[in-house]
A and B are shown apart, each in its own frame.
Chain A
Amino acid sequence: MHAVILAAGAGRRLWPLTAYRPKPMLPVAARPIIGHVIETATAAGVDAVTLVVGYKGDRIREYVGDGARFDVPVGYVDQEHQLGTAHAVAQAAEVVDDSFLVLNGDQIVDVEAIAAVIAAADDQTPVMAVTAVDDPIAYGVVTVEDGWVTAIEEKPTQTTSGLINAGIYGFDPSIFGVIEGLSPDVAGELSLVAAIERCVADAGVAAVATSGRWVDVTAPGDLLTVGATLHREPAIDETASVDATAVVGPGVTLAADVRVGPQAVLTGDVDVGANVTIGPQVSIEDSVIMPDTHIEPAATVATSVIGQNVRIGPATVAVGQREPAAEGAPPVVVIGDHSRIGPAALLEAPAAVGVDCEVAAGAHLRDRIGDATQVVSR
């Protein structure tokens, strides 16, 4: 079945990590989310993919290409203005001519869940996946009777249903007519949920109950926790070089050409992107480091998400919350792409440094610094 994957959104809640990349390009378990999504979809039986791209779409095109690395043909349609999820789906009207699947490019779900929707969509459309969660009111809550959807409510204050919209849909081309008939909502957008509500009132929407993994990244700190739920084996790329005196723990993933200097210590769940240099005596714990970043000697990075091509100066300390919060994402230190920090700066959660910033030696930060800011001292 053909899958239309929505990957055009900006993901503003994930600033500064999304200043230069769309949310589907954020790394989870050492690869972009969109990579996990396409891999899962093909494992479930998807045999062609159309990516709806918009915000920073070139990053996705560059990574996914024509799909060769996923062994599935991938095409693209542009959603120039991001006017809602239904508007995004409508962009694919020209390229689908049979029943098709719609997935979110920034949510990782189980292979079985996608396979179940494909099987159901072979019989009837529209169909949507629902999944049971403990705290449904934060999501789109779905009421189901006898296998049919009767209501969808976004973030209700209270509910009797424990089921939420899992973001996997099966449609046929008649959905494009439904979308055309929608009026923009208060935000000026056409939402897929509104289209489904039309269908509920019309011919009905079948619900497919799914369970298992359902990974959504809504805050930078999620990048530290969701990787673990994917049960991916940590791996040291063969081109990575680790000094004999460095300590690299069992939960550490090092991508190509990472260099780890003498007496550096990497422990906990650590994902290090390609061409990252970790200097002597650096310590890193439970963090994500994106490609091309330099962490200079004796710096400490813990519970932090460090962007691409960042320079963390010598003896700089970036430390998020040490103990995981009771619920939700742990407070982390986030540093945007291309920023220069330190030497000997101290960044404590919830410090968030935008892209292209310069933070001077000895600065002490605990708050949010906008893009392209020069922090002289604090």
Chain B
Amino acid sequence: MCGIIGYVGADTALPVLTSGLDRLSYRGYDSAGIALLDDGGLQSYRAPGKLDALRAVLPDTAAATIGMGHTRWSTHGPPTAENAHPQLDCSGEIAVVHNGVISNAAALRGELEGHTLTSETDTELIAHLLEEAQSAGGTPADQIRTVTDQLEGSYALVIAFADDGHLYAVRQQSPLVIGDGDRGRYIASDVPAFIEHTDAVRYLEDGDIAVVGAETVRILNDEGEVSRPLTRVEWDAEVAEKGGFAHYMLKEIVEQPDAMRQSLSGRTDPTTGTVRFETNLGPLARVQNVVLVGCGTSHYAAAYAAGVYEANGIAAEAVIASEFRERPHWDPAVTLIIAVTQSGETADTLTAMRAAAGQGYATMAVTNTVGSSITRLAEHAVFIRAGPEIGVAATKTFSTQVATLLVLGVALGEARGSLSRTVRRRQLEAIDGLPGQLQAMLDARGVIDEIAAMAATASNHVFIGRALGLPVAREGALKLKEISYDHAEAFPAGELKHGPLALVTDETVVYAILTPGADPERTVTNVKEVQARGATVVALGPPDRWRSLTDWGVPVEGSATTAPLLSTLALQLIAYEIAAAAGRDIDQPRNLAKSVTVE
């Protein structure tokens, strides 16, 4: 959940580190710090709060050409300067930044003698353990190995020693990449942090210790020196800029037609009813049961896909990653487990997939991030190709996750022979209609903005839907609560009368998904139910469906497999407008981070 940046090279390190921290701030932002290394040793700067607070304590310029930075999201200890990284040992000659959680920190803390600890972090322990290990001699890499052998849990570390012109990078179940540039070497939690300097990257693997100098990188694992291939990243750093929009979230909502075109490009052929993925997806023909694992928005995308798969005649269930456990009815020989994660680094999802690994299941990752941990954990990977998403609230990655999973569903139906060519063609035609229909949703912005203005004063927001409308309702409620902090809940429409109806008053806005694929005929009854209690109803669906029910309707086109998904865009815009009207920090909502790399 924290972000790491490191630099060793020919340029002064400070600007590289501050701009890297800027780009990492979506990972966490309750405190931050930088350590610089020059002939005078290590200088450390830390501050609680956002990056501006750190900037206030940083020097304007510094000659050091080696340094590392960290932006933190608290797991151990509150956000204070003392708990911010880098953490130093007693001598002040070893500095450590860390992303992850050391699960045996309490035990190690008990064993450590003769050291003065100044923070509540598990990270500081690592600095002191390194100090201990120095007395045993050996190379710095040997000393680091001695320490990591004692650590349990997840960690990506960057370590600097005052008398050493290298940075040491360690990866264990937390992401870490190394960039090779003309002007030096970069270490970061993710590529956007340094992509303005280089697109040539190496992804470390679990157990790797990298010795990073200005000219060379040596990578060691348990066995000795290893090589990790250099790959080029296609994302252009500039693509990730806000491009004149007030927030990344709005930019990412507005660019959904383009992102969708890019996501689907070359994969669907409605004329023949066939699907082409760029990579081999393994033996899909034998799959009889699909389990989709994910968290948050990715879970709702998974639940949507599971609904479509079931309608296509294949057993499918969406499981929340942190609730993952093997079920007796899963037969490893015929069960495909699909991890759905935007970042590919979601700790809960990685843990679930590790638990599934080695049990004989076929495994697949559906992610936005090439080279991410999940792609190395799963046997096969499908990329959603949505481009970088910076806003903490997922928008374009939800719609492209769903679309990618729908295309995958057609591929499954083709491989298993369970979907006729006619049905596959119809589904692919519907999927190919998504970019234009997303644009139609954006072009209805006037109507949506009026609804948002009406709903902004509500004290309570309830989202209802059935079938594919249910995950969409849940995603709508999640968007609204994430960024507006207003109370928002989603319920299966039929469940209202079994309890939640008690929440409904004349200050409640109820959002009803009335599209094809969401069993709209039956939900209309529930709309009348809440209207009788004074609630204002916002309906999403074909105008004929809601014109006689409410003044607050959003026209939604699309087929039974795509129309519920299209409704999401309107719910995203409503959430955005309500949060913007309330002056919320939309791209970085309180207590949340983009990529949740702790469990």
Contacts and interface: CB of A to CB of B under 8 A. Distances in A.
Interface of A: 20, 51, 53, 58, 61-62, 64-68, 74-76, 239, 241, 243, 256-257, 259, 261, 274-275, 277, 291-294, 308-309, 337-338, 355-356
A309 B261 contact: no
Given A261-B271, A275-B261, A61 B439 contact: no
Nearest to B256: A62
Contact of A51 (B244, B250, B433, B437): B244
Interface in B208-262: 236, 238-239, 241-245, 250-251, 254-255, 257-258, 261
Contact of B261 (A53, A257, A337, A356): A257
Given A256-B261, A256-B265, A337-B440, A62 B243 contact: yes
Given A66-B238, A274-B261, A309-B435, 18 more contacts: A20-B443, A58-B254, A61-B244, A62-B243, A62-B254, A64-B244, A65-B239, A65-B241, A66-B241, A68-B238, A75-B244, A241-B269, A291-B257, A292-B435, A294-B433, A309-B436, A309-B439, A337-B440
A276 to B, nearest CB: 9
Interface residues of B, number: 30
B92 interface: no
Given A58-B254, A62-B258, A291-B435, A257 B264 contact: yes
Contacts of A74: 243-244
B233 to A, nearest CB: 15
Contacts of B440: 309, 337-338, 356
Given A65-B243, A293-B436, A239 B254 contact: no
19 contacts: A62-B254, A65-B238, A65-B239, A65-B241, A66-B238, A66-B243, A68-B241, A74-B244, A239-B265, A239-B266, A257-B265, A274-B261, A274-B435, A292-B261, A292-B435, A292-B436, A308-B436, A309-B436, A338-B439
A64 B270 CA distance: 31
Nearest to A60: B244
A68 B266 CA distance: 25
A67 B437 CA distance: 27
B482 interface: no
Contacts of A274: 261, 435
Nearest to B239: A68
Contacts of B442: 58
Nearest to B445: A58
B432 interface: yes
Contact of A355 (B254, B269, B443): B443
Contacts of B435: 274-275, 291-292, 309
Q: Which of A58, A241, A243 gathers the greatest number of chain B CB atoms within 10 Å?
A: A58
A291 B264 CA distance: 14
B265 A61 contact: no
Contacts of A337: 439-440, 443
Contacts of B433: 292, 294, 309
Interface string B459-500: 000000000000000000000000000000000000000000
Interface of B: 236, 238-239, 241-245, 250-251, 254-255, 257-258, 261, 264-266, 269-271, 432-433, 435-437, 439-440, 442-443
A91 to B, nearest CB: 13
Given A62-B254, A274-B261, A292 B439 contact: yes
A188 B7 CA distance: 57
Contact of B251 (A61, A68, A275): A61
Given A257-B261, A275-B261, A275-B432, A66 B244 contact: yes
B443 A338 contact: yes
B552 to A, nearest CB: 18
Q: Which of B254, B258, B440 gathers the greatest number of chain A CB atoms within 10 Å?
A: B440
Q: Which 6 A-B pairs have the closest CB atoms?
A: A292-B436, A309-B436, A68-B238, A65-B243, A76-B244, A66-B241
A88 to B, nearest CB: 16
What is the interface of chain B mostly: helix, strand, loop, or mixed? helix
A64 B239 CA distance: 10
A294 B109 CA distance: 66
A160 B239 CA distance: 51
A277 B244 contact: no
Contacts of A292: 257, 261, 433, 435-436, 439
Contact of B266 (A61, A76, A257): A257
A261 B425 CA distance: 14
Q: Which of A76, A259, A309 gathers the greatest number of chain B CB atoms within 10 Å?
A: A309
Q: Which of B243, B245, B435 gathers the greatest number of chain A CB atoms within 10 Å?
A: B243
A308 B270 CA distance: 19
Contacts of B264: 257, 275
Contact of B255 (A62, A66, A239, A261): A62
A42 to B, nearest CB: 15
A277 B261 contact: no
A224 to B, nearest CB: 22
A291 B440 CA distance: 12
B278 to A, nearest CB: 12
Contacts of B258: 62
Contacts of A20: 439, 443
A308 B265 CA distance: 18
B291 to A, nearest CB: 31
B429 to A, nearest CB: 8
Contact of B432 (A53, A256, A277, A338): A277
Nearest to A340: B557
Given A20-B443, A58-B254, A277-B270, A64 B436 contact: no
A241 B265 CA distance: 11
A289 to B, nearest CB: 12
B389 to A, nearest CB: 15
A62 B239 CA distance: 11
A66 B242 contact: yes
A24 to B, nearest CB: 14
Contacts of A65: 238-239, 241, 243-244
Contacts of B432: 275, 277
A58 B261 contact: no
A309 B437 contact: yes
B12 to A, nearest CB: 23
A259 B440 CA distance: 21
A162 B579 CA distance: 56
A151 B254 CA distance: 45
Contacts of A356: 440
Contacts of B266: 239, 257
Nearest to A58: B254
A64 B244 CA distance: 9
Contacts of A277: 270, 432
A64 B241 CA distance: 11
Q: Which of B244, B258, B270 gathers the greatest number of chain A CB atoms within 10 Å?
A: B244
A262 B515 CA distance: 34
Contacts of B271: 243, 259, 261
